[in-house]
Amino acid sequence: MENETKGIIDELKQKIDVYLHDYMEEKGSYNKKIYESMQYSLDAGGKRIRPMLFLLTYMMYNENYENVIDIAAAIEMIHTYSLIHDDLPAMDNDDLRRGKPTNHKVFGDAIAVLAGDGLLNEGMNIMFNHCLKNNDKNKIKACSIISESSGVEGMVGGQTVDILSENIKIPIDQLYYMHSKKTGALIKASIISAAVYAGASEDEIEKLNYYGKKLGLAFQVKDDILDVTGDAKKLGKKVKKDKNNNKTNFITTYGLNKCIEMCNSITSECIDVLGRINRNTKNLEKLTLFLLDREK
């Protein structure tokens, strides 16, 4: 059982990696540079957590994940665009991402802005095309959930609050708001959209919604922990960023020990709610524990 789960997670990661790489391969004419730039950031790797959550949730209802791998890839494109824009000098001004020079360091600021724009747009193109081929209300709804989660009431809104919170101490509710939007929204949407797509019951969607919300929070608390305790080499990016940028985070709010405790207890809540769904949730459980234990 253990190996089977590990097997499918590795298999999915590889499928996503290949899909994303091939998608950009040998495309473009005069605009070839934009494909190179998008491919560069997609190929930089990453854990592929969001597309994985989408596919694993879908697989609770339907084994044929190949049907929806395009949507999984669209989610990762949207996530990758957000990283490229977050790293820009105008934003967090980061030189390193996933152990490689950031997009703008390689392609320049202008192309990096455009590569981000292009990835967001391409993610949407993929979803519209998917809906065109699979014209069905649940499927359109699923794409709409993903699209909403990355916008101003989701990721973009969260990043806005993050930018506005530099060098000021923000209240706890604003900290939770920021992360529930910036990181949480797309993570939760990856799960919920797959369930909606597959025709899950309202009760299941409610439980997965709770799971997604908690998972997003655990993910962010863990990120803040790694920012303090992590190894820059393993993480592939700078550490102690929040401290250096004078940002409020979960560590500055609760302290390291309390954060570790929080991360464990929220993860337990995640596992617990999955256990109350009357389907095979073992792969999602495995991924949840992996996220708690990760070193990057």
Is the distance from CB of 100 to CB of 158 less than 8 angstroms? no
For 42, residues 6+ apart whose C-beta sits below 8 A from its C-beta are: 20, 21, 23, 24, 76, 77, 80, 119
Q: How big, in percent rounded to 5, are the helix, strand and coil portions of the chain?
A: 75, 0, 25
Please say which residue, 55 or 114, places its beta carbon nearer to a copy of itself: 114
CB of 10 to a copy of itself, least distance (A): 30
CB of 152 to a copy of itself, least distance (A): 4
For 6, residues 6+ apart whose C-beta sits below 8 A from its C-beta are: 286
Please say which residue, 11 or 166, places its beta carbon nearer to a copy of itself: 166
CB of 271 to a copy of itself, least distance (A): 31
CB of 7 to a copy of itself, least distance (A): 34
For 189, residues 6+ apart whose C-beta sits below 8 A from its C-beta are: 75, 145, 146, 148, 149, 150, 154, 212
CB of 241 to a copy of itself, least distance (A): 16
Among 123, 128, 153, which residue's Cα sits nearest to residue 51? 123
Interface residue list for a copy of itself (CB under 8 A): 28-31, 33-35, 38, 81, 85, 88-91, 108-114, 116-118, 120-122, 124-125, 127-129, 131-132, 135-137, 140-141, 143-144, 147-148, 150-153, 156-161, 163-164, 174, 177-178, 181
Please say which residue, 165 or 267, places its beta carbon nearer to a copy of itself: 165
User: What are 96's strand-pairing partners?
Assistant: 101
Determine the straight-line distance between the first and last CA of the chain, rounded to whole angstroms: 25
Please say which residue, 193 or 267, places its beta carbon nearer to a copy of itself: 193
CA-CA-CA-CA torsion sign (167, 168, 172, 178): negative
CB of 72 to a copy of itself, least distance (A): 17
Please say which residue, 38 or 200, places its beta carbon nearer to a copy of itself: 38
**CA–CA distance from 78 to each of 75, 125, 135, 189, 217 (Å)?**
5, 11, 22, 12, 20
Please say which residue, 147 or 288, places its beta carbon nearer to a copy of itself: 147
